[in-house]
């Protein structure tokens, strides 16, 4: 059969010359520009440790960014020049060897290249019968395997731990509602309760608010001296709720709290949830990665028996933002809240619409970026074993730092160091009262950050302002932590006499 020619060779192509597109008019010039951009980025990454980890945006740069709507084209060269001047120098931050703020991954050079490929392919990774879909499905199988979930479990990539928690808690809610789930909370008349420690990440109460359970559905349970969920307090609360006609639905366990890296008694929680028939969700945003290390694995024992697990790939696995994942043991339960029909989405038996999966059956998103590519490439490039060794290295660095702190009488460790987070403060010679100490450490932290020495972050522990060093950084070396301690001592002494 003779089929119509492609438009490239069609005479209509010329007649349509007036039609516009967004492609380069001069491919030679574009290629040269693109290679300059790549070269600049490689140099940026190769020299990252020599650049200021943080510097304030100069007034001029802030003003320049207040640009009115660019209705007319400026061209790639000018846009890129503005990027180089106004953005790049002020974003070294989490790529620097001395970044230990919040819990943020470092990224990699090959991750940058995977991001280039992904943006170039521009795949809407919804599940079409395309190479990208099969690669993403494979990456998900690898994730299940890494965390000891069975092949029958479901998995989906989302933007990060917050959405991973949101997905898991939605599934847990609907599993508890049973057949009443479809008509919603208002129609059900059922009152559910979700449990977790007071150290639980804010995305959990936030998710509960989103899914309609609100503060009335959340039971923050007290922690012990190690910031771990108190199991007795939990079971007492479950009993009280049952007496009041409330249906206990789900326990959220922490594998690595954001404040101190505390890991709840997961084995104990598995047992309680089995006995009480509750959904066990583990928030393992970063801590779950301990499962990849033979020497740390026992810390998160029990996690593999959870009903659902949320973890990030952009934190301790250093895959570029964004990439989080949620695993659910019961794939049918996972799909229940998200399955929606649409005649424009029905599958065909052949062609691109013969979809091996519809990822929107597992998460809020329908259109999706091709997150699977960077995961697939990173695992293949580096091998998954190295992530366990890097986690061990960071945990060893945390212990090294804790050791340096304990050895200095002017410093004070404010929490146990079970994993990769160290909370401490400068206490000087013990003369300052609590408010003065909090203020002193607040000022001290700002100086450490603004002078470009390092970027730890902060938190409050029992009313005490803590300098918080969360180590998810493959570029850090022991010397970096030693330098931090020296700077804190120098600046702390200076601040004390101010």
Given the complex with a second copy, which of 193 and 229 has the nearer CB atom?
193
Q: How many residues bind a second copy (CB under 8 A)?
A: 211
DSSP assignments along 458-481, one per residue:
EEEETTEEEEEEE---TT--HHHH
Judge contact between 186 and 293, C-beta under 8 A. Answer: no
Q: Contact with a second copy (CB under 8 A): which of 150, 178, 267, 446?
A: 446
Say whether residue 215 binds a second copy (CB under 8 A): yes
Q: Contact with a second copy (CB under 8 A): which of 386, 413, 432, 495?
A: 386
Helices and strands, number each (H, E), in the chain: 16, 12
Q: How far apart are CA 34 and CA 255, in angstroms?
A: 42
Binding mask 186-205 for a second copy (x = CB under 8 A): xx--xxx--------xxx-x
What residues numbered 278-317 form the site for a second copy, per CB under 8 A?
A: 312, 314-315
CB < 8 Å & 24+ apart, contacts of 488-491: 488/411, 488/426, 488/444, 488/448, 489/408, 489/410, 489/411, 489/426, 491/444, 491/447, 491/448
What residues numbered 50-89 form the site for a second copy, per CB under 8 A?
A: 50, 54, 56-57, 61-62, 65-67, 69-76, 78-80, 82-83, 86-89
SS3 11: coil
- Interior/surface letters 270-294, b for 16+ CB within 10 angstroms, e for the rest: bebbeebebbbbbbbbbbbbbbbbe
Q: Contact with a second copy (CB under 8 A): which of 29, 60, 145, 294?
A: 145
Closest CB 249 distance from a second copy, rounded Å: 11
Given the complex with a second copy, which of 25 and 430 has the nearer CB atom?
25
Say whether residue 254 binds a second copy (CB under 8 A): no
| CA distances (Å), origin 181, targets 64, 140, 193, 391, 469 | 51, 27, 15, 40, 42
E strand or H helix at 196: strand 192-197
Q: Contact with a second copy (CB under 8 A): which of 271, 276, 322, 330?
A: 322
Closest CB 39 distance from a second copy, rounded Å: 8
Say whether residue 32 binds a second copy (CB under 8 A): no
Judge contact between 472 and 390, C-beta under 8 A. Answer: no
Tokens of 89: 């120098």
Closest CB 145 distance from a second copy, rounded Å: 5
Q: Contact with a second copy (CB under 8 A): which of 271, 403, 475, 495?
A: 475
Given the complex with a second copy, which of 235 and 464 has the nearer CB atom?
464
Provide CB contacts within 8 A for 7, sequence distance 6+: 13
Say whether residue 39 binds a second copy (CB under 8 A): yes
Judge contact between 317 and 378, C-beta under 8 A. Answer: yes
Provide CB contacts within 8 A for 2, sequence distance 6+: none
Given the complex with a second copy, which of 342 and 430 has the nearer CB atom?
342
Angle at 261 between CA 257 and CA 266, to 5 degrees: 70
Say whether residue 439 binds a second copy (CB under 8 A): no
Say whether residue 170 binds a second copy (CB under 8 A): yes
Judged by CB under 8 A, which stretch of 120-128, 271-279, 411-419, 424-432 contacts a second copy?
A: 120-128
Say whether residue 348 binds a second copy (CB under 8 A): yes
Say whether residue 385 binds a second copy (CB under 8 A): yes
Say whether residue 233 binds a second copy (CB under 8 A): no
Closest CB 111 distance from a second copy, rounded Å: 6
| CA distances (Å), origin 125, targets 136, 357, 370, 412 | 9, 10, 5, 49
Say whether residue 492 binds a second copy (CB under 8 A): no
Judge contact between 161 and 324, C-beta under 8 A. Answer: yes
Judge contact between 117 and 381, C-beta under 8 A. Answer: no
Say whether residue 45 binds a second copy (CB under 8 A): yes
The shares of helix, strand and coil residues in the chain, as percent rounded to the nearest 5, are: 45, 15, 40
Q: Contact with a second copy (CB under 8 A): which of 100, 101, 293, 307?
A: 101
Judge contact between 240 and 209, C-beta under 8 A. Answer: no
Say whether residue 234 binds a second copy (CB under 8 A): no
Q: Contact with a second copy (CB under 8 A): which of 59, 151, 245, 342?
A: 342
Instruction: Say which residue the tokens 């959405």 belong to.
Output: 163
Closest CB 245 distance from a second copy, rounded Å: 12
What residues numbered 395-424 form the site for a second copy, per CB under 8 A?
A: none
Q: CB-based burial of residue 201 (10 Å sphere; 0-12 exposed, 13-18 middle, 19+ buried)? A: buried
Say whether residue 350 binds a second copy (CB under 8 A): yes
Given the complex with a second copy, which of 103 and 253 has the nearer CB atom?
103
Q: Contact with a second copy (CB under 8 A): which of 29, 60, 109, 439?
A: 109
């Amino acid at each position: 059969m003779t089929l119509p020619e492609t438009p490239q060779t069609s005479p209509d192509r010329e007649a349509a010359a007036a039609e516009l597109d967004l492609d380069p008019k001069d491919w030679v010039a574009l290629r040269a520009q693109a290679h300059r951009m790549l070269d600049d980025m490689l140099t940026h990454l190769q020299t990252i440790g020599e650049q200021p980890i943080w510097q304030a945006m100069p007034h001029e740069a802030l003003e320049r960014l207040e640009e009115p709507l660019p209705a007319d084209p400026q061209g790639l060269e000018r846009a890129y020049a503005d990027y180089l001047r106004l953005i790049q120098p002020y974003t070294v931050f989490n790529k620097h060897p001395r970044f230990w703020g919040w819990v943020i991954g470092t990224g990699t050079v090959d991750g940058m290249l995977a991001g280039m490929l992904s943006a170039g392919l521009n795949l809407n990774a919804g599940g079409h019968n395309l190479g990208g879909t099969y690669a993403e499905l494979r990456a998900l199988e690898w994730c299940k395997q890494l965390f000891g979930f069975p092949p029958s479990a479901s998995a989906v990539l989302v933007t990060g731990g917050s959405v991973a928690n949101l997905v898991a808690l939605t599934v847990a809610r609907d599993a508890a509602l049973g057949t009443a789930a479809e008509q919603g909370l208002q129609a059900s008349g059922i009152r559910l309760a979700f449990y977790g420690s007071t150290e639980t990440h804010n995305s959990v109460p936030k998710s509960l608010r989103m899914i309609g359970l609100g503060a009335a559905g959340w039971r923050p349970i007290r922690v012990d001296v190690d910031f771990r969920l108190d199991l007795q307090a939990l079971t007492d609360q479950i009993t009280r709720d049952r007496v009041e006609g409330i249906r206990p639905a789900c326990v959220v366990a922490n594998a690595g709290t954001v404040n101190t890296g505390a890991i709840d008694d997961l084995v104990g929680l598995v047992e309680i949830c089995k006995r009480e028939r509750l959904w066990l969700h583990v928030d393992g945003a970063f801590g779950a990665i301990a499962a990849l290390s033979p020497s740390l694995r026992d810390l998160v024992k029990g996690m593999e028996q959870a009903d659902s697990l949320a973890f990030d790939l952009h934190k301790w696995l250093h895959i570029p933002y964004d990439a989080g994942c949620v695993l659910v043991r019961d794939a049918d339960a996972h799909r229940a809240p998200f399955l929606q029909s649409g005649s424009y989405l029905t599958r065909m038996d052949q062609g691109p619409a013969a979809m091996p999966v519809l990822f929107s059956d597992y998460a809020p998103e329908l259109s999706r970026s091709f997150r699977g590519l960077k995961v697939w490439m990173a695992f293949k490039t580096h091998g998954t074993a190295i992530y366990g060794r890097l986690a061990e290295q960071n945990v060893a660095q945390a212990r090294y730092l804790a050791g340096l702190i304990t050895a200095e009488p002017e410093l004070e460790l404010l929490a146990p160091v079970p994993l990769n987070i160290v909370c401490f403060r400068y206490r000087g010679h013990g003369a300052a009262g609590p408010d003065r100490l909090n203020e002193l450490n607040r000022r001290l932290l700002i100086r450490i950050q603004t002078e470009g020495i390092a970027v730890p972050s902060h938190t409050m522990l029992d009313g005490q302002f803590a300098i918080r060093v969360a180590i998810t950084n493959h570029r850090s070396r022991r010397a970096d932590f030693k330098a931090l301690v020296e700077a804190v001592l120098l600046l702390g002494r200076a601040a004390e006499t101010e």
